[in-house]
Structure 1
Amino acid sequence: MKKIFGLVFALMVLLSGNAVQAAGTISVGEALGTGNGTDVKVEGYIVGVPVNIDTVEQSDFTSNYALALADDQNETQIDDMIFVKLDSEYRGEFGLQNNPELMGMKVYVDGTRDDYFSHEGIEYVTSLSEASSDGEDDSPPCESHYYKEAEGLTGDALKQSLHEIIDDHTELSYSNVWEALRHTDQDPNNPENVKLLYSGMSYSKEDNGGNVDDWNREHVWAKSHGDFGTSMGPGTDLHHLRPTDVTVNSARSNLDFDNGGSAFSEAPGTYYDEDSWEPRDAVKGDVARMIFYMAVRYEGDQGELDLEVADAVGTSGPYIGKLSVLKDWHAMDPVDEREQYRNDVIFEDYQGNRNPFIDHPEYVELIW
């Protein structure tokens, strides 16, 4: 069933033009012959850092601001290279001054053909990711490099390392969350709709708001568990914001997560009582991984909240529970194609950071 879902979802995304890795990848040579102003997806090898129209550093790099790509991993002729301007969100991960080991790596670049240093180039980059050498690696974009600093760590050291990896990212305004959710939670069977988290129902993308039959923005880590409201940061972080129908969102309120309670008729498979909420089985793992993400992303530095997962219900302050149950849910409902797609879209198109527990489910046991 998951394979069928994945095929249907991939086809729908390609047709809608929203694929993270769209069809139509071209070579550097083809990109060099493409006119300015054209949106392109280019595959090529990183061969240096352009610093002016006729100079490309191929060692002793002095800048993170641009890359030179070529079809040949060992290219030295500047005329056979295309220059890629790196905006701030890509410099830390792909700039060669900080990451000289990326020299020679094959990458995909989505952007607009536009001259850079008066040389054929790509600007306004919307996606930059590592390409597999054999075309068969379906791991998340540049995952091996993204989590490099966390390799071999456990416990608090792993948690802190992951925090540093995902900490700095683009923050959305709360009003911009509406449009983002129309993309991240698009119904794979109907591109005009979004799929709601708790009920599983499909609603028109445009039926959002505060009326009874609308969908709205659910904070899976409830806002009152830290009193962060809808301010930029935890209040607008897409990794825990999901579409839900208004009445279901209201019923969940700020309850912790646990098993048991009475059935909630408007969301089949959901149970609740005075201090806890149990979502349907199909999204139990999704909920757990969103909670784990929040506990790692918000660690109390730079004036932010320190969010923590407690092994209890009825929590208050910047805590939410129940840890042992969330770990069980994480194990019983593993990551699927839809959840991975959502992680990729948030990374590529909105925030520039990932949920580590989707990419590496084993991190949960290594930390908690």
Structure 2
Amino acid sequence: MKKSAKLSVLIGSLLASQVALANVENGTFESWSGSTPDDWSTIDTGISVSESTSIVRNGSSAAAITVNTGSQSSTDFRQSISVTSGETYDFSVWVYHTEGGMRARLYVDGYQGYSTAATTGQWQEISYSYTANSTTSIELGLRFYDVSGFDGSELVYVDDFEPNTDDNSDSGGGSDSGGGSDSGSCSTGNLSLTTDNYGYETSWSITDSSSSELYSGSNYSSSTTYSEDVCLEDGDYVFTINDTYGDGICCSYGSGSYNLIVDGSSVANGGSFNSAESTSFTVGSSSGGSPGGGSTDLNAYYDAAEGLTGYSLKTALYNIINGHTTQSYADIWTFYNASALDSYYENDGSILDIYSESPNGTDSYSYSSGSDQCGNYSGEGDCYNREHSFPRSWFGGAISPMNTDIHHIFATDGYVNSKRSSYPYGEVSSTTYTSSNGSKLGSGSSSLGYTGTVFEPIDEFKGDLARAYFYMATRYQNDIDGWDSNSTYADAVLDGSSDQVYEGWFLDMLKDWHNQDPVSQKELDRNEAAYSHQGNRNPFVDYPSFVAEIWGN
């Protein structure tokens, strides 16, 4: 690695307004000549460009940019675009940070806004509205600046420059037809489809409220992942997936799955069904706009908590999420098959295991949903299990509804799950075991305020687990005050109350984790799926500010 230095890469991207005409050539990086994407030029040796087919936002390819330079000058990957005097253009680009050691700055005839460097492992959009002063050609792009933590080299993915004339409706394999709107006001979406061992049995369609078919796909290859783009105007729709043999696409013969995302939210997903499965969803304002996305009107859902703070707010949230539908322990496997799949890192449809997932590199192993569930194990990589992030011994054992509450039960490697055991989460000072992705077991740091044995997940999932614990403190506030006597480790974490719930050292740590690892798209999608699964939501995923409003900063 080179010594950290200011660095830059210029990567162009625009979304023209509906009135003004503009076009980014090869905007979704589907056309390549060797290692260079057509219509784009590189100037400096401080960057290298290659084609990515694994981390892609739109179509079947993206640009993988490796930044390894000590200069901010002439470090460009760009193209020019024509603009017309007096016209306003709304430019945008999507980037995917892998380490968080740099931030992207949009360049539109000058330097504009930044990306969020700490948002790693997911796509984020940068946009800027530009009014041309003259009829001319301007340079468009991104420039990356190092921030604290940059080690001299970093990989960034770039995709989906708008507007463009690329046709990405078929990502290679199968056949599909696209309808939808040409008015320019539609909401963009993408269907990620992984077929099972009999891909030719699978077909799908999207129909509107008049039962008119807008999009469809069929004749797929076996055990292959496809990416199909859609664009839908405001309205009501039905997504239907079919399997001619009648056994779905997961899990008897392969590990197929599907996930339809519109405007950043999952509206239909799964894989385990019989001959067909249909999901209704709404696009637009009638879906009830909300911070959490999805189809839930969160303003209405949390209406009873409006205007409250402190423990009064916590009690109001308890009354909202209390009484969810208790599912069986076996139903957790079914939930994983549809809603614990990796659509965010490798995007390969494998089980997203928080104890083995490597956000910035290749996973040491991957699990197929259904076929690789535990079972017996003798080491890491043997199978995935149902990890009670809030250990069930703390609430007294296999007692419902806590034992099957999906909001705190994550898919994890079985062996690492057993190493974590019922130890509290914490921050390790002296490590006795490290999993393949860097999760650690060892003695707690003295600065933490607890020096007993703790398990520390990687930073990528600390916020997820903290919000699961805030959920447990709220959902079970009428019971949790007596759980501290159930085990030594429960007593180390729980303070015996129904309001604060956690000991000071643990509460402070949870708040730190919550703030340092903000809510991600995968959490939003999981929360929506959990709501469909058992009928209640995690308020701290929908409204992260609830944490400070209840427990302070």
TM-score where L is the length of structure 2: 0.43
**CA distance 1:4–1:305, change in 2 (3 Å):** closer
Matched to 1:217, the amino acid is: R
Structure 2 residue 510 is matched with structure 1 residue 326: yes
Q: Find the residue that maps to 2:410 and give its secondary structure.
A: strand
Q: Find the residue that maps to 1:339 and give its secondary structure.
A: helix
Match of 1:336 among 520, 538, 542: 520
Moved more, 243-252 or 139-148: 139-148
**CA distance 1:197–1:133, change in 2 (3 Å):** same
> How far apart, CA to CA, are the structure 1 residues paired with 2:288 and 2:480?
41
Matched to 1:210, the amino acid is: G
Contact 2:342 2:349 in 1 (8 A): yes
> How far apart, CA to CA, are the structure 2 residues paired with 1:266 and 1:3?
21
Q: Aligned residue for 1:355? A: 538
Contact 2:304 2:316 in 1 (8 A): yes
> How far apart, CA to CA, are the structure 1 residues paired with 2:473 and 2:426?
17
Matched to 2:298, the amino acid is: E
> How far apart, CA to CA, are the structure 1 residues paired with 2:540 and 2:522?
14
Task: Tell me how large the CA RMSD over aligned residues is.
Answer: 3.8
Q: What percent of counterpart residues are identical?
A: 36
In the TM superposition, residue 125 of structure 1 has moved relative to its aligned partner by 9.7
> How far apart, CA to CA, are the structure 2 residues paired with 1:139 and 1:190?
22
Contact 2:463 2:513 in 1 (8 A): yes
In the TM superposition, residue 163 of structure 1 has moved relative to its aligned partner by 0.6
Contact 1:306 1:318 in 2 (8 A): no
Deviation digits for residues 291-322 of structure 1 (CA, Å, limit 9, x no counterpart)? 1101101122xxx555789xxx9443993661
> How far apart, CA to CA, are the structure 2 residues paired with 1:153 and 1:228?
34
In the TM superposition, residue 343 of structure 1 has moved relative to its aligned partner by 0.6
Deviation digits for residues 155-195 of structure 1 (CA, Å, limit 9, x no counterpart)? 11100010111112221100111111222210114554201
1:78-93 alignment runs, 5 A limit: none
Deviation digits for residues 61-113 of structure 1 (CA, Å, limit 9, x no counterpart)? xxxxxxxxxxxxxxxxxxxxxxxxxxxxxxxxxxxxxxxxxxxxxxxx99xxx
Matched to 2:491, the amino acid is: S
Q: Aligned residue for 2:549? A: 366
Matched to 2:352, the amino acid is: K
Largest Rg, 1 or 2: 2
Matched to 1:24, the amino acid is: I
In the TM superposition, residue 208 of structure 1 has moved relative to its aligned partner by 0.6
Greater relative CO, 1 or 2 (CA 8 Å, sep 6+): 1
**CA distance 1:330–1:43, change in 2 (3 Å):** same
Unaligned runs of 5+ in 1: 35-40, 46-108, 111-123
1:94-133 alignment runs, 5 A limit: 131-132=284-285
Which one has a larger percent helix, Structure 1 or Structure 2?
A: 1
1:150-165 alignment runs, 5 A limit: 150-165=305-320
Deviation digits for residues 322-366 of structure 1 (CA, Å, limit 9, x no counterpart)? 111011000000001111111111112x01211110111111111
In the TM superposition, residue 272 of structure 1 has moved relative to its aligned partner by 2.3
TM-score where L is the length of structure 1: 0.63
> How far apart, CA to CA, are the structure 2 residues paired with 1:180 and 1:168?
19
> How far apart, CA to CA, are the structure 1 residues paired with 2:403 and 2:338?
19
In the TM superposition, residue 152 of structure 1 has moved relative to its aligned partner by 1.2
Unaligned runs of 5+ in 2: 1-95, 97-118, 125-158, 160-187, 196-203, 214-231, 237-266, 269-276, 358-362, 443-451, 495-501
Matched to 1:199, the amino acid is: S
1:250-269 alignment runs, 5 A limit: 250-263=418-431, 264-269=433-438
> How far apart, CA to CA, are the structure 2 residues paired with 1:129 and 1:318?
42
Contact 2:462 2:514 in 1 (8 A): yes
Q: Find the residue that maps to 1:193 and give its secondary structure.
A: coil
Q: Aligned residue for 1:178? A: 333
Q: Aligned residue for 1:203? A: 367
> How far apart, CA to CA, are the structure 1 residues paired with 2:481 and 2:337?
29
Contact 1:162 1:296 in 2 (8 A): yes
Q: Find the residue that maps to 2:338 and give its secondary structure.
A: helix
Q: Find the residue that maps to 2:373 and give its secondary structure.
A: coil
Q: Aligned residue for 1:279? A: 457
Q: Find the residue that maps to 1:204 and give its secondary structure.
A: coil
> How far apart, CA to CA, are the structure 2 residues paired with 1:13 and 1:171?
30
In the TM superposition, residue 137 of structure 1 has moved relative to its aligned partner by 6.6
Q: Find the residue that maps to 2:308 and give its secondary structure.
A: coil
**CA distance 1:161–1:138, change in 2 (3 Å):** closer
**CA distance 1:137–1:284, change in 2 (3 Å):** closer
Matched to 2:527, the amino acid is: N
Match of 2:491 among 276, 293, 316: 316
> How far apart, CA to CA, are the structure 2 residues paired with 1:5 and 1:275?
32
Contact 2:194 2:349 in 1 (8 A): no
Matched to 2:429, the amino acid is: G
Aligned residues: 271
**CA distance 1:138–1:23, change in 2 (3 Å):** farther
Contact 1:294 1:307 in 2 (8 A): no
Contact 1:305 1:318 in 2 (8 A): no
In the TM superposition, residue 217 of structure 1 has moved relative to its aligned partner by 0.3
> How far apart, CA to CA, are the structure 1 residues paired with 2:355 and 2:233?
39
